[in-house]
Structure formats: C-alpha cells, structure tokens
Amino acid sequence: MTTQTTSAAHEVLTALRAAARGTVIGPGDPDYDRLRTIMYGGLDQHPAAIARVVDAADIAAVLDVARRTGLELAIRSGGHSGAGHSSTEGGIVLDVRELRELDVDVDGRTAWAGSGLTGADVSTALAEHGLAVGFGDTGSVGIAGITLGGGVGYLVRKHGLTIDSLLAADIVTADGQLHRVDADHEPDLFWAIRGGGGNFGVATRFRYRLQELPGIVGGILVLPATAETVAGFIAAAEAAPDELSTIANVMNCPPMPFVAEEHHGEVVILAMMVWAGEPAAADDVYAPFRGLATPLADLVHPSSYPEMFPPEDESYHPTASGRTMFMDRIGLHEAGLIVDRLRASDASLRVAQLRVLGGAMARVPADATAFAHRSSRIMVNVAAFYEGEDDRLVRKAWVERLATDLRQDDRGAYVNFLTDEGENGVRAAYPGRTFDRLAAIKRCYDPDNLFRRNQNVPPARAEGAIGWATSSTR
C-alpha cells in the first residue's frame, strides 16, 4: 500500500468516525478480518473502512462520505452475494448487521424486522407464536438481501415469494433521506424494491404480513439419482398441492452419517422438502416421492419450521462456480443429461439444484413487482466446487456447458443467484419493460448510481434511453 493510499484510507476512516455513531473498523483494527469476510470463499476483498451503522442517521452519514470521496460503496447484511457484492476492494462497506430490532404484532399477524436480522433469526422468533415468513433455505441469509431480490424459499408455493408478504419498508435513499414506502406511499419505489435488489437505497427495516404455521412435516429425503428418478421427482413436485415446496439437489453424495458409506460419492437426489399443510395428509403427499426408489435416507418428519435451518459452520467458505436459470420442463432427456454430466465430473462437489415453482408465486401478476418471472416453472442452479485458479477455470467451463445444454425457451434468471454474468445476467433478471421501469425509478432516487455495487440497473438517461454502467464506473 502506497503512502498516498494509506493517507486517503486514514482520511476516510477519520471522516466516518466523526460522522457516524456506530463503530467504524479499519484495516488495523482487531475485528477487521472477521468483519470483512463474506460467506463465499475466493473473494478476498479489503475495504478501506467498515461502518457498522446503528440507525438511519448513521446510514445517511456514511452515504455522504461515500458521495464526497467517490469510493465504491458496498452494502453488507448476511454476506451471501455470490458475486461478492457484500464487500469491496478499497471502498466502504456499510454494514447493517446491528439493525436487529424485531417487533411482532401477534394479533395483527405483522412484524417489523430490522435489516440486520437473518432468516433464521426471524423464523425462530416467529415460530414461538406459530407464525412464519418465507426466507429462502439458508438460515444465515440476511433478510434484506433475500427480500430485495424476491425471496424463493421453502414456502414459495404455499405463500409466494418473500416480497409477496412485504407490506412496507423504511429505506434511506442516495440523498440521505429516510422514506416509508408501501402500496400507498411512493408506490413506484415500493414496486422497485420488491425484486429490484439493492439499487435504490439502504433498507433499515421491513414490515411483513405473517402466515400461520404451527409446524411442518419436512426434512431430507435421499434417493438414488437416475434419469427416471430425477424426472419422476420433478413430475411429482409439479403435481403436488401448493403446500409442498421442494428443492432437489442432484449431486454427488457427501459423507453424511445418515447415508450408508457405500453410497458416499454416488450421484443422488438430496431433497429438502417442506409440507406446510395438514400433518395428517403428509404421508399421502410424500408417497409418490418415496415410491420412486428405495430411499437411501428418509429424515422427513413433523417439526417446527426453524428446524429447516440447522446451525452453520461460520468458518465454512466454499469456492464454487455457478449459474442460475429457469427451465420449462425436466423430462427423461434433461434428467439423463444432468445425471450423466454429474457422474462424469470429478469436482469435489457438483450439483444441479432443481426447484419446482408455481403455486402462490405464480398467481401474482408479472408486473405487480420487479420480480418478473412469475410464470417460470422450474429454477435450476448448476454449480461445481473448485480448488485454486486453474481448477476454477475447469469447473467454470463444465458449469457453462451444462447450463448451455439445458437452456430452453425461458431465458430468465433469479437476481439473488446471479454471480458475475454482467449486463447479460441483469437483463435476464429484469427483462424488457421491467428493466426500463427500474432504470426510470433509479434516475429519480439514485441519479448518480451511488448504489452500483450490486446487480446494477443504471439510471435512465435524461432523454429516456437506458445506459449501462459497471460497478467500477460512476
């Protein structure tokens, strides 16, 4: 680091510490390495400062410093951005993890939740009252990131996306102003933050409609993977009542203690399943899946909803190459291709994750929110773990080939699972008029593209044309 760079970093730290009430962490502080680390490995970024904000005024102060210095600004909640947008090299990280207030109105079935909470935090607290909101499938995911991007999780078919339960939000925009947005107050901004990601401001808290969920019947079901069982699983998931949401991870079997050692390393269907209907009906609902083949493990059982979010190892930072996409169908041909490619790969872990959608998610009009993929039938995520840069290139090529060979008519993508696809990925997440409307709203609330460290929708030009900007341009 040069003397000039060191001096500039010191000035930023000094400015932030003078302006913000929350803790500001710099490269020389004891907690710096822990706080700059995000969930995924291979993304070793060194911000000039990490500002742990405590309220909206703090956020406004940090935004002011970012504007005046021109440094790249990253917003950090759960830190699960596959593109590494939760941190920045040499810029400022605005860390919202101190915003952890949760106010539950049990009788009214609503809750205000701070943007620093995780899905597991909120789900565990709500379960005490027999209530729930769907927050993805990983407990450590921040509710801010998953909500702003849409929110596909274990309750997607029964209760829709996370944004379908969003009633209001408090958000600080680029000018430092705090806005309460809902269907009646600044409805354009409310439309945009329901799926438009972090392009429009920093959310301090969200108000959710809560669903009754006294318990579930769910867990892990492991089946041998063949073309027939994979295609049969998808067919059964599509035919199931909306109360059932499934994630079929077609993958090489890890050394899990509940699966016989002889099956470790084999390609299997490791399914995560949640039945949110009447418990008495669960056996009939699960019967078609159990009938596909003799299960290698069957851990489906009555439980509380938060049991779907087991404790996570904070030291686990996987390095993986991945692609997200939607598919219209997975029949024997597609299933056979997936199984054959997984068997042929020697990656330490490789997976095709298949999520049947539909249900409540599909009953919301496509233009009601910035999530435009309401009619998409199946979401697919292809990934392979890598070790080192040379291996990364090998695994990336394998992922790209499989994703290309699986591509069908639905060319969309889920913004929360995008990695480094650039403009093409953003355009796939926000097709046509959705992108244009987001860009117009961006021009109103962030004309200088301060919030650009994300899957970026740049502000529309004054004459109405849409320009593209990378995260490194202003």
- Domains along the sequence of the chain with CATH: 3-95 (3.30.43.10), 102-212 (3.30.465.10), 216-303+318-423 (3.40.462.20)
Concatenated DSSP letters for 381-423?
A: EEEEE--SHHHHHHHHHHHHHHHHHH--S-----GGG--S-HH
pTM of the full structure: 0.94
Three-state DSSP at 310 gives coil
Three-state DSSP at 192 gives helix
Which region holds residue 462: left if phi is over 0, alpha if psi is between -120 and 50, else beta? alpha
pLDDT of residue 463: 57
Closest C-alpha to 150, from 141, 158, 160, 140: 160
Angstrom CA distances, 461 to 134, 197, 427, 440, stand at 37, 20, 17, 8
Alpha carbon distance 444, 389 (integer Å): 41
List CB contacts of 400: < 8 A, sequence separation 6 or more: 323
pLDDT of residue 26: 97
Number of helices (H) and strands (E), helices first, in the chain? 13, 19
pLDDT of residue 468: 40
Long-range contacts of 137-141 (CB under 8 A, 24+ apart): 137/247, 137/272, 137/308, 138/80, 138/309, 138/312, 139/306, 139/309, 139/310, 139/311, 139/312, 140/39, 140/78, 140/80, 140/312, 141/78, 141/80
- Tens of pLDDT along the chain (474 residues) come to 554 556 677 899 999 999 999 999 999 999 999 999 999 999 999 999 999 999 999 999 999 999 999 999 999 999 999 999 999 999 999 999 999 999 999 999 999 999 999 999 999 999 999 999 999 999 999 999 999 999 999 999 999 999 999 999 999 999 999 999 999 999 999 999 999 999 999 999 999 999 999 999 999 999 999 999 999 999 999 999 999 999 999 999 999 999 999 999 999 999 999 999 999 999 999 999 999 999 999 999 999 999 999 999 989 999 999 999 999 999 999 999 999 999 999 999 999 999 999 999 999 999 999 999 999 999 999 999 999 999 999 999 999 999 999 999 999 999 999 999 999 999 999 999 999 999 999 999 999 999 999 999 999 997 544 444 433 332
For the chain, the distance separating the N- and C-terminal CA atoms, rounded to the nearest angstrom, is: 24
Angle at 469 between CA 393 and CA 414, to 5 degrees: 60
List CB contacts of 365: < 8 A, sequence separation 6 or more: 374
18 backbone dihedrals φ, ψ, rounded to 5°:
-75, -30
